Structure 1
Protein backbone atom coordinates (compact mmCIF):
# COMPACT_ATOMS: atom_id res chain seq x y z
CA UNK A 1 0.00 0.00 0.00
CA UNK A 2 1.22 3.48 -0.83
CA UNK A 3 1.94 5.53 2.28
CA UNK A 4 1.65 9.32 2.39
CA UNK A 5 4.45 10.15 4.86
CA UNK A 6 3.46 13.80 5.15
CA UNK A 7 -0.13 13.03 6.16
CA UNK A 8 -1.83 12.69 9.54
CA UNK A 9 -5.47 11.61 9.86
CA UNK A 10 -7.26 12.91 12.95
CA UNK A 11 -10.48 11.30 14.17
CA UNK A 12 -12.60 13.91 15.96
CA UNK A 13 -14.12 12.18 18.99
CA UNK A 14 -14.33 14.94 21.60
CA UNK A 15 -18.03 15.80 21.64
CA UNK A 16 -20.54 15.36 24.45
CA UNK A 17 -23.25 13.58 22.40
CA UNK A 18 -25.99 15.77 23.91
CA UNK A 19 -28.75 14.52 21.60
CA UNK A 20 -27.78 10.93 22.29
CA UNK A 21 -27.92 11.28 26.06
CA UNK A 22 -24.75 9.22 26.47
CA UNK A 23 -21.50 8.63 24.59
CA UNK A 24 -22.75 7.63 21.13
CA UNK A 25 -19.26 6.71 19.98
CA UNK A 26 -19.05 3.90 22.55
CA UNK A 27 -22.59 2.56 22.11
CA UNK A 28 -22.80 -0.97 20.65
CA UNK A 29 -22.97 -0.68 16.87
CA UNK A 30 -22.88 -3.47 14.28
CA UNK A 31 -20.59 -5.66 16.34
CA UNK A 32 -18.28 -2.90 17.51
CA UNK A 33 -18.72 0.85 18.18
CA UNK A 34 -18.68 4.00 16.08
CA UNK A 35 -15.32 4.91 17.59
CA UNK A 36 -13.79 1.54 16.74
CA UNK A 37 -15.10 1.73 13.16
CA UNK A 38 -13.64 5.22 12.72
CA UNK A 39 -10.27 4.26 14.17
CA UNK A 40 -10.14 1.17 11.95
CA UNK A 41 -10.71 3.34 8.87
CA UNK A 42 -8.07 5.83 9.99
CA UNK A 43 -5.45 3.18 10.74
CA UNK A 44 -6.21 1.40 7.49
CA UNK A 45 -5.71 4.39 5.21
CA UNK A 46 -2.47 5.53 3.60
CA UNK A 47 -1.76 8.43 5.97
CA UNK A 48 1.43 7.93 7.97
CA UNK A 49 -0.22 8.47 11.35
CA UNK A 50 -3.70 8.23 12.84
CA UNK A 51 -4.68 10.25 15.91
CA UNK A 52 -7.81 10.38 18.08
CA UNK A 53 -8.88 13.86 19.25
CA UNK A 54 -10.63 13.32 22.57
CA UNK A 55 -12.56 15.49 24.99
CA UNK A 56 -15.73 14.80 26.96
CA UNK A 57 -15.30 11.02 27.23
CA UNK A 58 -11.52 10.86 27.21
CA UNK A 59 -11.17 8.31 30.00
CA UNK A 60 -13.94 6.08 28.64
CA UNK A 61 -12.25 5.96 25.22
CA UNK A 62 -8.77 5.13 26.48
CA UNK A 63 -9.05 1.36 26.02
CA UNK A 64 -10.37 1.58 22.44
CA UNK A 65 -7.65 4.06 21.51
CA UNK A 66 -4.97 1.83 23.03
CA UNK A 67 -6.29 -1.23 21.16
CA UNK A 68 -6.19 0.71 17.90
CA UNK A 69 -2.58 1.69 18.67
CA UNK A 70 -3.06 5.36 17.80
CA UNK A 71 -1.93 8.46 19.59
CA UNK A 72 -4.31 10.78 21.39
CA UNK A 73 -4.58 14.56 21.13
CA UNK A 74 -6.69 15.83 24.03
CA UNK A 75 -8.86 18.88 23.44
CA UNK A 76 -9.40 20.56 26.84
CA UNK A 77 -11.73 23.12 25.25
CA UNK A 78 -14.20 20.57 23.84
CA UNK A 79 -17.16 22.34 25.48
CA UNK A 80 -16.59 25.29 23.12
CA UNK A 81 -17.56 23.37 19.99
CA UNK A 82 -16.17 21.41 17.08
CA UNK A 83 -13.88 24.23 15.99
CA UNK A 84 -11.68 23.53 19.01
CA UNK A 85 -11.22 19.93 17.93
CA UNK A 86 -10.29 20.93 14.39
CA UNK A 87 -7.77 23.38 15.82
CA UNK A 88 -6.39 20.68 18.12
CA UNK A 89 -5.98 18.40 15.10
CA UNK A 90 -4.20 21.07 13.05
CA UNK A 91 -1.87 21.95 15.92
CA UNK A 92 -0.96 18.30 16.49
CA UNK A 93 -0.33 17.83 12.78
CA UNK A 94 1.92 20.87 12.53
CA UNK A 95 3.77 20.17 15.79
CA UNK A 96 4.66 16.66 14.68
CA UNK A 97 6.04 17.71 11.32
CA UNK A 98 3.18 16.67 9.03
CA UNK A 99 2.10 18.79 6.09
CA UNK A 100 -1.32 17.25 5.42
CA UNK A 101 -4.25 16.98 7.82
CA UNK A 102 -7.10 14.58 7.12
CA UNK A 103 -10.10 15.42 9.32
CA UNK A 104 -12.75 12.79 9.91
CA UNK A 105 -15.52 12.72 12.49
CA UNK A 106 -16.08 9.53 14.42
CA UNK A 107 -19.86 9.45 13.97
CA UNK A 108 -19.88 8.78 10.20
CA UNK A 109 -20.03 4.97 10.07
CA UNK A 110 -19.90 4.66 6.28
CA UNK A 111 -16.46 6.29 6.02
CA UNK A 112 -13.87 3.67 5.16
CA UNK A 113 -10.14 3.72 4.51
CA UNK A 114 -10.71 3.64 0.76
CA UNK A 115 -12.44 7.02 0.82
CA UNK A 116 -9.70 8.56 2.95
CA UNK A 117 -7.19 7.28 0.39
CA UNK A 118 -9.24 8.88 -2.39
CA UNK A 119 -8.86 12.25 -0.64
CA UNK A 120 -5.10 11.74 -0.37
CA UNK A 121 -4.82 10.83 -4.05
CA UNK A 122 -6.94 13.81 -5.05
CA UNK A 123 -4.55 16.13 -3.22
CA UNK A 124 -1.52 14.38 -4.69
CA UNK A 125 -2.84 15.19 -8.18
CA UNK A 126 -1.74 18.78 -7.45
CA UNK A 127 -3.11 22.27 -7.77
CA UNK A 128 -5.15 22.48 -4.55
CA UNK A 129 -4.74 23.20 -0.84
CA UNK A 130 -7.80 21.25 0.32
CA UNK A 131 -10.06 18.36 -0.63
CA UNK A 132 -13.62 17.75 0.56
CA UNK A 133 -16.12 14.92 0.33
CA UNK A 134 -19.09 15.61 -1.93
CA UNK A 135 -22.22 13.75 -2.96
CA UNK A 136 -24.87 14.97 -5.40
CA UNK A 137 -26.17 17.62 -2.99
CA UNK A 138 -23.76 18.15 -0.10
CA UNK A 139 -20.16 18.77 0.84
CA UNK A 140 -18.77 17.62 4.14
CA UNK A 141 -16.36 15.48 6.11
CA UNK A 142 -13.92 13.89 5.74
CA UNK A 143 -11.78 16.79 4.51
CA UNK A 144 -8.08 17.26 3.81
CA UNK A 145 -6.00 20.42 4.33
CA UNK A 146 -2.37 21.28 3.74
CA UNK A 147 -0.20 23.63 5.80
CA UNK A 148 -1.40 26.69 3.89
CA UNK A 149 -4.77 26.18 5.59
CA UNK A 150 -3.54 25.71 9.16
CA UNK A 151 -3.43 29.44 10.06
CA UNK A 152 -6.97 29.81 8.70
CA UNK A 153 -8.20 26.89 10.80
CA UNK A 154 -7.12 28.93 13.84
CA UNK A 155 -9.83 31.46 12.91
CA UNK A 156 -12.63 28.93 13.45
CA UNK A 157 -14.93 29.54 16.39
CA UNK A 158 -17.68 27.71 18.26
CA UNK A 159 -19.32 24.86 16.38
CA UNK A 160 -17.83 25.91 13.05
CA UNK A 161 -16.25 23.05 11.17
CA UNK A 162 -13.49 23.26 8.63
CA UNK A 163 -16.02 23.77 5.83
CA UNK A 164 -16.80 27.18 7.33
CA UNK A 165 -13.17 28.13 6.81
CA UNK A 166 -13.40 27.18 3.13
CA UNK A 167 -16.55 29.27 2.70
CA UNK A 168 -14.86 32.24 4.35
CA UNK A 169 -11.79 31.92 2.12
CA UNK A 170 -12.92 31.24 -1.45
CA UNK A 171 -9.38 31.92 -2.64
CA UNK A 172 -8.33 28.49 -1.34
CA UNK A 173 -8.16 25.99 -4.20
CA UNK A 174 -10.36 23.02 -3.30
CA UNK A 175 -10.96 19.69 -5.03
CA UNK A 176 -14.23 17.83 -4.39
CA UNK A 177 -13.96 14.06 -4.09
CA UNK A 178 -17.19 12.26 -5.01
CA UNK A 179 -18.76 9.79 -2.62
CA UNK A 180 -21.98 7.91 -2.11
CA UNK A 181 -24.47 9.96 -0.09
CA UNK A 182 -24.23 7.47 2.78
CA UNK A 183 -20.61 8.47 3.42
CA UNK A 184 -21.83 11.87 4.62
CA UNK A 185 -24.47 10.39 6.95
CA UNK A 186 -23.76 10.86 10.64
CA UNK A 187 -25.31 9.65 13.88
CA UNK A 188 -26.72 12.10 16.42
CA UNK A 189 -29.73 10.35 18.00
CA UNK A 190 -30.68 6.85 19.19
CA UNK A 191 -33.09 6.53 16.25
CA UNK A 192 -30.33 7.36 13.75
CA UNK A 193 -27.99 4.91 15.45
CA UNK A 194 -30.56 2.11 15.18
CA UNK A 195 -31.54 2.95 11.59
CA UNK A 196 -28.00 3.11 10.24
CA UNK A 197 -26.93 0.03 12.21
CA UNK A 198 -29.82 -1.93 10.67
CA UNK A 199 -28.87 -0.74 7.20
CA UNK A 200 -25.22 -1.73 7.64
CA UNK A 201 -26.13 -5.15 9.03
CA UNK A 202 -28.41 -5.63 6.01
CA UNK A 203 -25.56 -4.71 3.68
CA UNK A 204 -27.05 -1.35 2.70
Structure 2
Protein backbone atom coordinates (compact mmCIF):
# COMPACT_ATOMS: atom_id res chain seq x y z
CA UNK A 1 0.00 0.00 0.00
CA UNK A 2 1.41 3.39 -1.00
CA UNK A 3 2.22 5.95 1.66
CA UNK A 4 0.29 9.22 1.90
CA UNK A 5 0.93 12.08 -0.55
CA UNK A 6 4.14 14.06 -0.07
CA UNK A 7 4.63 17.81 -0.45
CA UNK A 8 7.68 18.64 -2.57
CA UNK A 9 8.86 22.13 -1.63
CA UNK A 10 10.94 23.64 -4.44
CA UNK A 11 13.78 25.76 -3.07
CA UNK A 12 16.55 25.35 -5.65
CA UNK A 13 15.82 28.27 -7.98
CA UNK A 14 18.17 31.21 -8.33
CA UNK A 15 15.45 33.76 -7.53
CA UNK A 16 16.97 36.02 -10.17
CA UNK A 17 13.85 38.16 -10.65
CA UNK A 18 13.97 39.38 -7.06
CA UNK A 19 15.59 42.78 -6.83
CA UNK A 20 17.61 43.51 -3.74
CA UNK A 21 20.26 41.95 -1.54
CA UNK A 22 20.21 38.23 -0.89
CA UNK A 23 18.12 35.30 -2.09
CA UNK A 24 14.38 35.88 -2.03
CA UNK A 25 13.79 32.78 0.08
CA UNK A 26 15.99 34.20 2.84
CA UNK A 27 14.12 37.53 3.04
CA UNK A 28 12.52 38.33 6.38
CA UNK A 29 8.79 37.65 6.59
CA UNK A 30 7.01 38.00 9.92
CA UNK A 31 9.09 36.25 12.54
CA UNK A 32 10.93 34.06 10.04
CA UNK A 33 11.95 34.03 6.35
CA UNK A 34 9.97 33.48 3.16
CA UNK A 35 11.05 29.84 2.98
CA UNK A 36 10.62 29.39 6.72
CA UNK A 37 7.03 30.61 6.49
CA UNK A 38 6.33 28.22 3.61
CA UNK A 39 7.81 25.27 5.48
CA UNK A 40 5.87 26.15 8.63
CA UNK A 41 2.61 25.94 6.72
CA UNK A 42 3.54 22.57 5.23
CA UNK A 43 4.59 21.19 8.61
CA UNK A 44 1.27 22.34 10.09
CA UNK A 45 -0.61 20.39 7.40
CA UNK A 46 0.85 17.17 8.85
CA UNK A 47 1.59 15.88 5.37
CA UNK A 48 5.00 14.38 4.70
CA UNK A 49 7.40 16.70 2.94
CA UNK A 50 10.70 16.81 1.13
CA UNK A 51 12.60 19.99 0.33
CA UNK A 52 14.65 20.22 -2.87
CA UNK A 53 17.29 22.90 -2.48
CA UNK A 54 20.92 23.80 -3.14
CA UNK A 55 23.97 23.74 -0.90
CA UNK A 56 23.61 27.51 -0.40
CA UNK A 57 20.29 27.11 1.44
CA UNK A 58 20.77 23.65 2.89
CA UNK A 59 21.69 24.76 6.40
CA UNK A 60 18.69 27.07 6.65
CA UNK A 61 16.36 24.31 5.47
CA UNK A 62 17.76 21.92 8.06
CA UNK A 63 16.64 24.22 10.85
CA UNK A 64 13.09 23.30 9.82
CA UNK A 65 13.18 19.72 8.55
CA UNK A 66 15.14 16.53 9.18
CA UNK A 67 18.26 15.85 7.14
CA UNK A 68 16.64 12.89 5.38
CA UNK A 69 13.92 15.22 4.08
CA UNK A 70 16.41 17.56 2.37
CA UNK A 71 17.46 16.82 -1.22
CA UNK A 72 20.41 18.90 -2.43
CA UNK A 73 20.75 19.47 -6.17
CA UNK A 74 23.34 21.50 -8.10
CA UNK A 75 22.64 25.19 -8.50
CA UNK A 76 21.37 26.05 -11.97
CA UNK A 77 23.93 27.73 -14.17
CA UNK A 78 25.69 27.67 -17.54
CA UNK A 79 27.81 24.68 -16.53
CA UNK A 80 24.69 22.53 -16.38
CA UNK A 81 23.07 23.63 -19.62
CA UNK A 82 19.40 22.76 -19.95
CA UNK A 83 19.53 19.80 -17.58
CA UNK A 84 18.48 21.56 -14.41
CA UNK A 85 15.51 23.78 -13.60
CA UNK A 86 12.14 23.23 -11.98
CA UNK A 87 11.58 19.95 -13.82
CA UNK A 88 14.82 18.52 -12.47
CA UNK A 89 13.88 19.52 -8.92
CA UNK A 90 10.42 17.96 -9.21
CA UNK A 91 11.95 14.73 -10.50
CA UNK A 92 14.46 14.65 -7.65
CA UNK A 93 11.70 15.03 -5.09
CA UNK A 94 9.51 12.39 -6.71
CA UNK A 95 12.33 9.87 -6.92
CA UNK A 96 13.26 10.51 -3.29
CA UNK A 97 9.71 9.67 -2.19
CA UNK A 98 8.78 7.05 -4.74
CA UNK A 99 6.62 5.19 -2.22
CA UNK A 100 4.11 8.04 -1.99
CA UNK A 101 0.54 7.85 -3.29
CA UNK A 102 1.11 11.24 -4.91
CA UNK A 103 3.08 14.47 -4.77
CA UNK A 104 2.08 18.09 -4.21
CA UNK A 105 4.46 20.55 -5.86
CA UNK A 106 4.77 23.78 -3.89
CA UNK A 107 7.27 26.54 -4.73
CA UNK A 108 9.21 27.67 -1.67
CA UNK A 109 8.27 31.30 -2.33
CA UNK A 110 4.57 30.77 -1.57
CA UNK A 111 4.43 31.33 2.20
CA UNK A 112 0.72 32.04 2.56
CA UNK A 113 -0.72 28.75 1.29
CA UNK A 114 -2.80 27.43 4.18
CA UNK A 115 -2.30 23.98 5.70
CA UNK A 116 -5.98 23.24 5.04
CA UNK A 117 -5.43 23.96 1.34
CA UNK A 118 -2.59 21.46 1.19
CA UNK A 119 -4.77 18.82 2.80
CA UNK A 120 -7.65 19.52 0.42
CA UNK A 121 -5.48 19.18 -2.68
CA UNK A 122 -3.89 16.01 -1.31
CA UNK A 123 -7.34 14.52 -0.75
CA UNK A 124 -8.29 15.22 -4.37
CA UNK A 125 -5.67 12.71 -5.52
CA UNK A 126 -7.92 9.94 -4.24
CA UNK A 127 -10.09 10.43 -7.32
CA UNK A 128 -7.93 12.39 -9.78
CA UNK A 129 -4.53 11.94 -11.44
CA UNK A 130 -3.85 15.68 -11.35
CA UNK A 131 -5.30 18.37 -9.08
CA UNK A 132 -4.55 22.00 -8.30
CA UNK A 133 -5.65 24.68 -5.87
CA UNK A 134 -7.93 27.39 -7.22
CA UNK A 135 -9.07 30.66 -5.64
CA UNK A 136 -12.09 32.50 -7.08
CA UNK A 137 -11.62 30.69 -10.38
CA UNK A 138 -7.91 31.48 -10.66
CA UNK A 139 -5.49 28.60 -10.88
CA UNK A 140 -2.73 28.46 -8.29
CA UNK A 141 -0.45 26.17 -6.28
CA UNK A 142 0.07 23.55 -5.14
CA UNK A 143 -0.31 21.30 -8.15
CA UNK A 144 -0.58 17.61 -7.30
CA UNK A 145 0.04 14.38 -9.18
CA UNK A 146 -0.97 10.83 -8.31
CA UNK A 147 1.41 7.88 -8.17
CA UNK A 148 0.29 6.62 -11.58
CA UNK A 149 2.32 9.44 -13.14
CA UNK A 150 5.57 8.47 -11.40
CA UNK A 151 7.37 7.29 -14.55
CA UNK A 152 6.77 10.64 -16.27
CA UNK A 153 7.51 12.83 -13.26
CA UNK A 154 10.74 11.02 -12.38
CA UNK A 155 12.44 11.97 -15.66
CA UNK A 156 11.50 15.64 -15.84
CA UNK A 157 14.21 18.22 -16.49
CA UNK A 158 14.59 21.82 -17.62
CA UNK A 159 12.60 24.92 -16.79
CA UNK A 160 9.20 23.78 -18.09
CA UNK A 161 8.50 21.89 -14.91
CA UNK A 162 5.55 19.56 -15.36
CA UNK A 163 3.79 21.58 -18.07
CA UNK A 164 3.86 18.79 -20.63
CA UNK A 165 2.27 16.39 -18.17
CA UNK A 166 -0.36 18.97 -17.27
CA UNK A 167 -1.16 19.38 -20.96
CA UNK A 168 -1.81 15.66 -21.37
CA UNK A 169 -4.02 14.90 -18.39
CA UNK A 170 -7.29 16.46 -17.18
CA UNK A 171 -6.79 18.27 -13.89
CA UNK A 172 -9.29 18.72 -11.08
CA UNK A 173 -9.66 22.22 -9.66
CA UNK A 174 -9.91 22.33 -5.87
CA UNK A 175 -11.64 25.60 -5.00
CA UNK A 176 -10.30 26.97 -1.72
CA UNK A 177 -10.84 30.10 0.34
CA UNK A 178 -7.16 30.89 0.24
CA UNK A 179 -5.73 33.81 -1.77
CA UNK A 180 -2.28 32.58 -0.78
CA UNK A 181 -2.41 30.02 -3.59
CA UNK A 182 -1.88 32.90 -6.03
CA UNK A 183 0.89 34.86 -4.29
CA UNK A 184 4.50 33.98 -4.98
CA UNK A 185 7.37 36.22 -3.94
CA UNK A 186 9.14 37.48 -7.06
CA UNK A 187 9.55 41.17 -6.20
CA UNK A 188 9.81 43.42 -3.16
CA UNK A 189 6.22 44.43 -3.88
CA UNK A 190 5.18 40.79 -3.55
CA UNK A 191 7.08 40.57 -0.28
CA UNK A 192 5.31 43.66 1.04
CA UNK A 193 1.95 42.21 -0.01
CA UNK A 194 2.69 38.98 1.84
CA UNK A 195 3.78 40.90 4.91
CA UNK A 196 0.53 42.89 4.86
CA UNK A 197 -1.53 39.69 4.77
CA UNK A 198 0.19 38.14 7.77
CA UNK A 199 -1.88 38.32 10.97
CA UNK A 200 -0.30 39.72 14.13
CA UNK A 201 2.16 37.18 15.55
CA UNK A 202 1.82 35.25 12.31
CA UNK A 203 3.26 31.94 12.57
CA UNK A 204 2.80 30.47 15.97
CA UNK A 205 -0.90 31.18 16.49
CA UNK A 206 -1.84 30.11 12.96
CA UNK A 207 0.08 26.86 13.17
CA UNK A 208 -1.33 25.99 16.59
CA UNK A 209 -4.85 26.62 15.30
CA UNK A 210 -4.34 24.41 12.23
CA UNK A 211 -2.85 21.65 14.36
CA UNK A 212 -5.86 21.71 16.69
CA UNK A 213 -8.23 21.46 13.74
CA UNK A 214 -6.37 18.50 12.24
CA UNK A 215 -5.98 16.57 15.50
Q: Compute the TM-score of the two structures, normalised by the length of structure 2.
A: 0.77
Deviations 1:97-135 (A, max 9, x none): 2221121111112112111001122223x2x11211123
1:82 aligns with 2:82: no
1:199 to 185, 193, 197: 197
- Give 1:11-160 correspondences, 5 Å limit: 11-21=9-19, 22-47=22-47, 49-55=48-54, 58-69=55-66, 71-76=69-74, 78-79=76-77, 80-94=84-98, 97-124=99-126, 126=127, 128-154=128-154, 156-160=156-160
Instruction: Please provide the CA RMSD for this pair.
Output: 2.4
Tell me, what secondary structure is at the counterpart of 1:161? coil
Gaps of 5+ in 2: 78-83, 203-215
Q: Which residue is equivalent to 2:162?
A: 162
Partners of 2:156 and 2:139 lie apart in 1 by 18
Q: Compute the TM-score of the two structures, normalised by the length of structure 1.
A: 0.81
- Greater relative contact order (CA < 8 Å, ≥ 6 in sequence): 2
1:176 aligns with 2:173: yes
Q: Runs ≥4 in structure 1, deviation > 6 angstroms? A: none
Aligned length: 190
